[in-house]
């Protein structure tokens, strides 16, 4: 079950919620879906993925060609703009220095991949979080309830002046409920900011 949390937020302060995207948001996978198609489907423009997203990790391994990576349940994807220094140069996609990476085994066999469905987690870092985060949060993202609850509790003094209204599953809730740390018992929570 998925609960729906809608927050009215002062537009100039929406970036305060982008830190949630570093922990990751949840997306559903369909059979045989590759990483490139997943990211396009979530709302990343192709040009943005090509030019701005310079570092992609899938389950901790650097990815050069997102089109060739078929996803399975539990996949963790991390996206970043260019990372600084030699480490950034090594892990940037499609670079000569890629041969300095530790070799990784193929994560799954093709037959397993075709039959699995489930969820993946996408984590956004640095400029990718700053640039794409507000748009994704306005459209809505699926989160783990405990993660948003922890954030709301920890940042309550700051967020009380930023959030101008809240609805949970279509019902208006007050600040005491919103910041209670116990919003829902659902498996996921769909957060959208307006």
pLDDT tens track for 121-148: 999 999 999 999 999 999 999 999 999 9
pLDDT at residue 83 in the model: 57
Q: Which token pair is 87?
A: 């480490």
- Is residue 181 scored above 80 in pLDDT? yes
- Kindly state the average pLDDT of the residues 74-102: 61
DSSP state of 107: S
**Residues 27 and 42 sit within 8 Å (Cβ to Cβ):** yes
Q: Could you tell me which of 137, 157, 149 has the C-alpha nearest to residue 188?
A: 149
Q: Which of 71, 80, 76 is nearest to 121 (CA)?
A: 76
Look up the pTM and report it.
Answer: 0.83
Domain range summary for the chain, segments of one domain joined by + = 2-193
Structure tokens at 50: 């090509």
CA 58, CA 74: separation in Å to the nearest integer?
11
pLDDT at 177: 96
State residue 94's pLDDT score: 52
């Amino acid at each position: 079950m998925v609960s729906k949390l809608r927050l009215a937020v002062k537009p100039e302060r929406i970036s305060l919620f982008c830190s949630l995207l570093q922990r990751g948001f949840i997306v559903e996978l369909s059979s045989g879906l590759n990483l490139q198609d997943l990211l396009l489907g979530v709302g990343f423009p192709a040009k943005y993925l090509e030019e701005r997203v310079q570092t992609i990790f899938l389950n901790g391994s650097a990815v050069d060609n997102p089109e060739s990576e078929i996803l399975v349940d539990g996949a963790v994807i991390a996206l970043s703009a260019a990372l600084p220094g030699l480490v950034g140069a090594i892990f940037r996609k499609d670079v000569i220095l890629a041969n300095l990476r530790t070799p990784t085994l193929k994560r799954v066999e093709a037959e397993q991949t075709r039959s699995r469905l489930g969820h993946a987690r996408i984590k956004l870092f640095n400029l990718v979080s700053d640039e794409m985060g507000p748009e994704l949060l306005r459209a809505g993202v699926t989160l783990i309830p405990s993660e948003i609850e922890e954030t709301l509790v920890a940042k309550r003094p700051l967020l009380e002046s930023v959030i101008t209204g809240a609805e949970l599953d279509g019902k208006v809730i007050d600040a005491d409920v919103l910041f209670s740390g116990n919003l829902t018992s659902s498996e996921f929570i769909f957060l959208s900011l307006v």
